[in-house]
Structure 1
Amino acid sequence: MSGTLLDTEAVIGCPHGGRVVATTSPADGVRLAGAAVVTAAHGYAVTGCPHTVDDVPTPCAAVRWTAPDTGVTVAGVPVLLDTSAAQCLTAALVPQGAPVVQAAQRKVVVR
């Protein structure tokens, strides 16, 4: 699997327009132009999701990523790519669709 390496500056949203942000970052992580490369070990939160089901607010709250087996790791943990499988989840862990990764300005491609 190939794709663009994700960092904490990547613009990622939930399928309903909320913003996805990495909530944890290891102090010894690898950085690209000052932004930490994100891995499967990071936590990810969603803010500002307006999703409702039958007029009941059901916002995305977190994202669960599955890191591809590229062989590229940071501190032994697989890195995430813009092509990595992921699922946005409610606070009750109900799947709500895949996050949307916008094109990154910095390009590091893993092949």
Structure 2
Amino acid sequence: MSGHSGNSGVCISAASAMHCPHGGRVFAASAAGAVRVDGHPVHTALDVFAVTGCAHTVDGVPQPCTSARFDPHARGVLVDGAPVLLDTTAAQCFGAALVPQGPVVVSAGRQGVMCR
């Protein structure tokens, strides 16, 4: 997994803009939503993420990102026992064959809550 492995950062919520490295949109396909920031559910390690609109190709053959996985620090902030995802959490996008295709790009948004 790529990304920063620190314990601090801005909490990722449903208001956060997330993309694959090829411009596709990363979104929570399922979310626990137990805690909200400005009315938006905060994402945790229990959430499942999908990718749509990825334009990645290999030798002219479409190989779009289809999912994303986050690798949160286990000693961070927890919601119902699950680590909260931060804009600094390591994350990777994957194609349909689960081939790594690059890091998730996160813009946490101004309303985010800083976690340490």
Give the TM-score of the pair, scaled to structure 1: 0.94
Alpha carbons 1:5, 1:82 under 8 Å: kept: yes
Query: Percent sequence identity over matched residues?
Result: 51
2:55 pairs with 1:55: no
Alpha carbons 1:51, 1:57 under 8 Å: kept: yes
Give 4+ residue runs of structure 1 displaced > 6 Å after superposition: none
2:13 pairs with 1:15: no
DSSP-derived class of the 2:65 partner: coil
Partner of 1:4: 10
Cα root mean square deviation, aligned: 1.1
Give the TM-score of the pair, scaled to structure 2: 0.90
CA distance in 2, matches of 1:70, 1:91: 31
Contiguous gaps of at least 5 residues in structure 1: none
Equivalent residue runs for 1:25-104 within 5 Å: 25-26=31-32, 29-104=34-109
**How many matched pairs?**
110
The one-letter code sitting in structure 2 at the alignment partner of 1:23 is A
The alpha carbon displacement at 1:110 in A equals 1.0
The one-letter code sitting in structure 2 at the alignment partner of 1:51 is H
2:115 pairs with 1:110: yes
The one-letter code sitting in structure 1 at the alignment partner of 2:84 is V
Contiguous gaps of at least 5 residues in structure 2: 1-6
The one-letter code sitting in structure 2 at the alignment partner of 1:17 is G
CA distance in 1, matches of 2:32, 2:85: 14
